[in-house]
Amino acid sequence: MKAAVLFKPYELKIIDNLIPTPTSSEMLVKTAYCGVCGTDVHLFHGDEGSVPMIPMTIPGHELSGILVKTGEKVVVDPNYFCKKCKACLNNNPNYCENIKNTGVTINGGFAEYLIAENSQIHKLPKNVSLLQGAFAEPLSCCLHGLSKISISSNDNVLIIGGGTIGLLMLQLCRYYGVKKVSLIDLIKEKREIATSLGASNTYESINMITNEKYNKIIECVGKKKTCQDAIKICEETGTVLLFGLTKPEEEITIKPFDLFKRDLTITSSYINPNTIKKAIDILATGAINVEKLIGKIISLEELPKVLANSQLRVDGKVIVSY
């Protein structure tokens, strides 16, 4: 089978590998689609993702495929939790001491086949396509993020960043019936997509916001300025979710006095503890339009140049199709 192996930073090679053989607790999945995530870009550049990458691993964690044994459509939850350690027993499985991450520490979806433990495999309902299934994992991360800021129908939400995550967050906010949700993005086309997906207002930058007050801010860019903007624009007593993955060494400036004066809460969110089933259920309701988030669908051979060149990723989600 063809597989993309990350030998070391910047060296992703498409090679011929043997199709892996599952044990009795595993199944073989023929990959259908695998999304390119910001985390994959970080890993390609040698930065840490959710955990440090093991060299020679096949990346890719946003995947859907077909169970070779039964022909069923499935998604693979990439994070393996041991269910035995202290963190798992305390219901914080994302801090599992024995965590394994598909596409980071074990082989992932940038290959024609992968094996996954039975516990990680979730069947897709009839009305959810394999292409939609490739969004179950990023959606599950968004669901964990939203659980940290308890959104409700009283909230006026502002999302910073109209990339895949920002546009998923926007649609989830609409699904959960927030009062209003708006979005900031520098790129006009992204703002237009946001409007078509139900954003009340869109802005080029926080400077364009004049009267409107936002009490829940979701930062989905991961840059210093946008993190600082998120804190700056938040209404008194509001909550800021710093969701975008920054570079590990990034620092931002915060004035504690300013937080005190506005009684702000700043929070964050780490991967997806058991939220993938919920993500599939939401996809099945039809509430999430994934087509508008897709920039291009590529072959595995095109993956190295897409990871190396940010210009090839600006149009939206890049998805490898097999």
What is the H or E stretch that residue 174 is in?
helix 164-175
- The span from the CA of 60 to the CA of 321, in Å, is 12
| DSSP result, 108-156 | -SSBSEEEEEGGGEEEPPTTS-HHHHTTHHHHHHHHHHHHHTT--TT-E
Q: Residue 237's CB: how many other CB atoms inside 10 A?
A: 10
Structure tokens, 288 = 């999430």
Question: Residue 156 CB, nearest distance to Zn ion (Å)?
Answer: 28
- The span from the CA of 275 to the CA of 265, in Å, is 23
State which residue, 93 or 162, has the beta carbon closest to Zn ion: 93
State which residue, 82 or 121, has the beta carbon closest to Zn ion: 82
- The residue range among 30-38, 107-115, 163-171, 196-204 that interacts with Zn ion, by the rule CB under 5 A, is 30-38
- β-bridge partners, 180: 156
Q: In a 3-state reduction of DSSP, which class is residue 214? A: strand
State which residue, 39 or 275, has the beta carbon closest to Zn ion: 39
- The residue range among 35-43, 44-52, 163-171, 296-304 that interacts with Zn ion, by the rule CB under 5 A, is 35-43
What mask, x for binding Zn ion by CB under 5 A, covers residues 139 to 178? ----------------------------------------
Q: Which of residues 65-94 bind Zn ion (CB under 5 A)?
A: 82, 85, 88
Q: What are phi and psi of 95, to 5 degrees?
A: -105, 25
What is the H or E stretch that residue 227 is in?
helix 224-233
Question: Residue 40 CB, nearest distance to Zn ion (Å)?
Answer: 7
Structure tokens, 181 = 């949700």
State which residue, 32 or 231, has the beta carbon closest to Zn ion: 32
Q: How many residues bind Zn ion (CB under 5 A)?
A: 6
- The residue range among 39-47, 69-77, 118-126, 227-235 that interacts with Zn ion, by the rule CB under 5 A, is 39-47
Of residues 96, 104, 130, 300, which one binds Zn ion by CB under 5 A? 96
- The span from the CA of 100 to the CA of 192, in Å, is 39
State which residue, 44 or 203, has the beta carbon closest to Zn ion: 44
Question: Residue 242 CB, nearest distance to Zn ion (Å)?
Answer: 16
Q: Is 37 in the site for Zn ion (CB under 5 A)?
A: yes
Q: Is 41 in the site for Zn ion (CB under 5 A)?
A: no
The contact set with Zn ion (CB under 5 A) reads 37, 39, 82, 85, 88, 96
